[in-house]
Amino acid sequence: MRKEEIISQLPYSKPFLFVDEIIHIDENGVEGNYTFDENLDFYKGHFKDFPVTPGVILTEVMAQIGLVCLGIFLLNNTFSKSTSIALTSNDIEFLKPVFPNEKVIVISEKIYFRFGKLKCKVIMKNEKGEVVCTGVIAGMIISK
């Protein structure tokens, strides 16, 4: 499956699509990136006069790239509009802030994929290569 096909199958659209590019993907993991546009709505109210990306959004970026993109790849053409990947758990440690117009790189390593559940170790880095946040995210394949 091509990287562009995976992105087109994501069940999100702007302004809630947080995947710009998949750099690498295979059965063991995925690497992708996203750049935070300064005009995103949440920046208007998340810390007046000093906008910072909310942790819940950083978690969502990690989940979309590190879990959902990988899940679509692993399902190898069996993912459809009647299939979804639902977040079941996450344990994220936030280490550095992410500001408007910053590009982040998400690197995910599969821990396991069995019985419809995917669990991954996920790291987010900024363009300087500094770890922004790290943790474990799990999700489950749901048929609608």
Active site residues: 46
- The candidate with the shortest Cα–Cα distance to 66, out of 102, 95, 34, is 34
Beta bridge partners of 108: 30, 122
CB contact at 8 A, 64 and 70: no
Alpha helices in the chain (DSSP H): 3-9, 55-63, 70-75
SS3 24: strand
Distance between CA 51 and CA 1 in Å, rounded? Answer: 37
Residues sharing a CB contact under 8 Å with residue 2, sequence separation 6 or more, in sequence order: none
Distance between CA 4 and CA 64 in Å, rounded? Answer: 14
| Residue carrying structure tokens 């399902």 | 75
